[in-house]
Amino acid sequence: MKSFEKLKATARHLKREITALYYAYGSEELGLAPKILIGLTIGYALSPIDLIPDFIPLLGYLDDLIILPLLIWLSIKMIPSRIMEDARVSADKNPLTLKKNVPAAVIIILIWIGIIFLIISRFLN
């Protein structure tokens, strides 16, 4: 049970860091490169479609266990510590709750279908 509790604590920590990244993104002091990486990190974290689908044995959870924490870590490294500290305070005071956004989900799914279609059409020609 201890490892399950540790896993839950790590998940809570990552959720807090993603929320802090959201608040850091709003800082006018950040340059373009950190903002792009933060946008990619948050987008990847919230995307309903994984880079590696979860139904693939073992590899399916690779993105959740390695890629996402790596993106979060890289994003945090690009943010000045003062901005990140303020963002963490904001995340603790005002945790975000996401609303279901069906139109956004449909758009993301259509984009993935389009990408898959383009890849398949390239291999068939």
pLDDT at 95: 87
Residue 106 lies in a domain: no
CA distance 97 to 81: 25
Domain count of the fold of the chain? 1
Residue 123 lies in a domain: no
Asked whether the predicted pLDDT for residue 55 surpasses 70, the reply is no
Asked whether the predicted pLDDT for residue 17 surpasses 90, the reply is yes
Query: Side-chain half-sphere of 46: how many Cα atoms within 13 Å?
Result: 20
Domain of residue 68, residue span: 2-99
Name the more confident of 85 and 50: 85
Residue 104 lies in a domain: no
Asked whether the predicted pLDDT for residue 50 surpasses 70, the reply is no
pLDDT at 123: 84
CA distance 1 to 82: 37
Residue 114 lies in a domain: no
Residue 12 lies in a domain: yes
Q: Which pTM does this prediction carry?
A: 0.69
Residue 116 lies in a domain: no
CA distance 49 to 43: 10
**Quick count: other Cβ atoms within 10 Å of Cβ 111?**
11
Residue 69 lies in a domain: yes
